[in-house]
Amino acid sequence: MALSTIVDSMVSYICIRVPLQCHTQPVLSQLISRYGLTVNITAAFLEGNTQDNGWFNLEIQGSFQQIEAGLAYLQSLNIDIEQLNIKILAAEDREKLKLLCTNTNICGQVQSNQQIQSNTQEVNLTSKKNRAKFQVCIPKNYHYSPIIAGLVACYGLTVNIARAYLDIDTENDGRFDLEIWGSSQQIIFGLRYLKQLGLQIWL
């Protein structure tokens, strides 16, 4: 049975413009690991090897303090935040964003490691010995699930999105080029998680 993890009772709908200097930084990964937010990408466009800014439409769920800290982090990187809309969720709507973890033991183990990581101020990618690069297809039936966030929150991986195509039109599948860092075990479990969800992966 999949584990559903819900952070708190507020959700923020934002559009961010990601400048060129942030294209190689795991910005969304930091929102999850450092600030404890659940992040779902509802639309995105980020080209590789380009001078143009990328953009992401995001749903961010957490407490008011977590969302406020996460937005301040984005602003510290000179990332423009547009269309900010924060909504307090009713009790029956608090399971809007679910992390689809398929192994509760791994989830619990990684969460402890994640709490330690969240106290650090910077992510040192060179300290994570293993890296994997791949493309994943996110089908339209998963557009409302934080699939990529699960790699971070459930398996302790650091994730950078190198390229992204997810149309606002939910009839189309999305494609993401990802770079992930972590231990060999974390990477294996992370890829297995994507496979168990039935997603196509190209290494």
Tens of pLDDT, residues 108-166: 444 444 443 443 334 555 455 799 999 999 998 888 899 999 999 999 999 999 999 99
The pLDDT of residue 101 is 74
Of the options 3.30.70.260, 3.40.50.720, 1.20.1290.10, 3.40.1010.10, the CATH number for the domain spanning 10-202: 3.30.70.260
The pLDDT of residue 117 is 44
Instruction: Average the pLDDT over 46-54 and give the result.
Output: 80
Q: How many CB atoms lie within 10 A of CB 169?
A: 8
Nearest to 135 by CA among 173, 178, 167: 178
Q: How far apart are CA 138 and CA 199, in angstroms?
A: 7
pLDDT per position as a tens digit, 85-107? 888 766 656 666 778 875 544 44
Q: Predicted confidence band at 52 (pLDDT cuts at 50, 70, 90)?
A: confident
Q: How many CB atoms lie within 10 A of CB 136?
A: 19
173 and 124 in contact (C-beta within 8 Å)? no
190 and 184 in contact (C-beta within 8 Å)? no
pLDDT per position as a tens digit, 25-37? 999 999 999 999 9
Greater pLDDT, 68 or 92 = 68
* DSSP annotation string for 179-199: EEEE-HHHHHHHHHHHHHTT-
Instruction: Average the pLDDT over 14-34 and give the result.
Output: 93
Average per-residue pLDDT for the chain: 82
Edge-first strand listing for the sheet containing 201-202: 80-88, 10-18, 54-62, 38-46, 158-166, 174-182, 130-138, 201-202
Does residue 173 carry a pLDDT above 50? yes
Instruction: Average the pLDDT over 177-190 and give the result.
Output: 95
